[in-house]
Amino acid sequence: MKQTKEHILYVDHIFHTKTKSNDFLKDFLAEHFLIESMYIDPSNTDTPSYQKITECVADYAYVVFFQVLPPLPILCKIQEKVQVIWVPMYDGEKFNRHFWNTLSCLNVHIVSFTESIHTQALQYNLQSVAVRYAIDPDRYQMQLPGIGHHIFFWYRGGVSFEEIKHILPSREVDTLIYKSTPDPNVSAESLSEEDIQIYHIKRIDSGFIEKDSYLQLLSQANMFIAPRKKEGIGMSFLEALAMGHYIIAYNDSTMNEYITDSRIGYLFDEHTTAPVSFEYVESSYQYRIEYAQSLFATWESQKSKILDLFYKTNRKFSFLDKMHFWYQYWLYRVSRYIIVCMYQIQHIKKHI
C-alpha cells in the first residue's frame, strides 16, 4: 500500500511571492510532504492570520515558519498541537537573549542556513541543523566576459555605490551595470555624472524584471557586488558565484561563510581602505566554477538533514514548562520595553 504523505503548513513572508527566493526549500520538502502555503505581511500589526493557524493546525502534521514567526504566546499554543520548524534569516535576526531564552522553553526546531544562527540556537539548547545552500552551476549556460573587468551591482539599499567606490579603482573598471531596485521603504541612490563617466556606468532603474532578462544582464559581467550587508541565505550572490563571478561583499554572514579565499572574492567593511584586487577576476574563473560545484555537491548530500528535524520527538510540554515560558516571556517583553525607552531618550537628547 502506498504511504500517504503528511501535510505541512508552510508560513512565509509575503515578499517571497515576488522573489521566489526560498522555492528551493519548498520544492525539496514537496518531495516528502504535501505543502500548503500561507503568506504573512509582518508590517501588519494585527495577527488574524497567525490566529488562524492555531485554529487549523489539527489539519497538519507540521508547521514551517520561514523567516516570519508569530508572537510568542501564539507560537506557544501552536507548538502544543503540532510540530514546529522555524527557518530564521540572519538578515532579519534582531532578537536578544531574553527572546532566545523564551523560545528555548518551547518545542521549536530550527533550520539554520548560517553558522551564526546555528551557534546561537545550540547555545540556548534548541534543536538545530546547519545546512549551506548552493546552486548548481550546470543550470547556467551563459558565457561571462573572459577579458576585462565588468561589474554588476544590484542596489537594494544595504550597500551603496557611494560607500564602496573608494575600494574600486576606476582605472580597473571597464564597465559597471548598476541595477537600481531598492527594497521596500528604501530610497534610490543618486549617482554623480563624474562617477557615471569614469566607471562607465550603465544605470538601469526598474522593479523586478523577468528572470531571463536578469540573467542576460548578469552574464555581461564577471564581477558581482553583493547588495546587502547581511543575508539570510544570499540567493543573489550565490547565483552569481554559480555562474563564475568574482564576488565583492560585505564581511558578514552569509557572504563570509562562502568567500573563503581571494580567488573567490573580496570582503570589506567600514574600515576597509585597501582597494579590491583584480588579479583573480579573469584567471580564477574556472576555480570559482569548481568551487561552486563542490558547494552544490555538499548541499545535495546534506539537505536530507533537514528532514531529521521533522521526525524528532517533542518533549512533553508540562504545566511547569508553561509557567517557565510565561516567566521568560515577560522578561523578554520588559527588555524590549527598556530598549525602546532608551532609544527614545537618546533620540530626544539629540534634538535638545
Q: So what's the pLDDT on residue 1?
A: 42
Phi and psi at residue 176, to the nearest 5°: -140, 115
Q: Which of 183, 176, 118, 175 is nearest to 155 (CA)?
A: 183
Put simply, whether the predicted model's pTM sits higher than 0.85 gets the answer yes
Whether the pLDDT of residue 38 is over 60: the answer is: yes
Q: So what's the pLDDT on residue 3?
A: 61
Tell which wins on pLDDT, 123 or 211.
Answer: 123
**Lowest mean per-residue pLDDT among 70-79, 174-183, 271-280, 336-345:** 336-345
Select the CATH number that applies to the domain covering 7-131+303-347 from these four: 3.40.1350, 1.20.120, 1.20.58, 3.40.50: 3.40.50
DSSP code per residue over 256-283: HHH--STTTEEEE-TT--SPPP-HHHHH
Q: E-assigned strands of the chain?
A: 7-13, 34-40, 62-66, 83-87, 108-112, 128-130, 150-155, 175-180, 201-205, 223-225, 246-250, 265-268
Q: What angle do CA 234, 240, 242 make, to 5 degrees?
A: 95
Q: How far apart are CA 306 and CA 261, in angstroms?
A: 28
- Most confident option among 39-53, 96-110, 206-220: 96-110
Question: How many percent of the chain have pLDDT more than 90?
Answer: 74
Architecture of domain 138-294 in CATH? 3-Layer(aba) Sandwich (3.40)
Whether the pLDDT of residue 175 is over 70: the answer is: yes
Q: So what's the pLDDT on residue 339?
A: 77
Whether the pLDDT of residue 49 is over 80: the answer is: no
Query: Using 50, 70 and 90 to split pLDDT, how confident is the model at 96?
Result: confident
Whether the pLDDT of residue 139 is over 50: the answer is: yes
What are the extents of the domains in the chain?
A: 7-131+303-347, 138-294
Q: How far apart are CA 342 and CA 336, in angstroms?
A: 10
Q: So what's the pLDDT on residue 142?
A: 86
Model pLDDT for residues 298-346, shown as the tens digit of each residue: 999 999 999 999 988 788 888 999 999 999 999 998 988 887 788 777 7
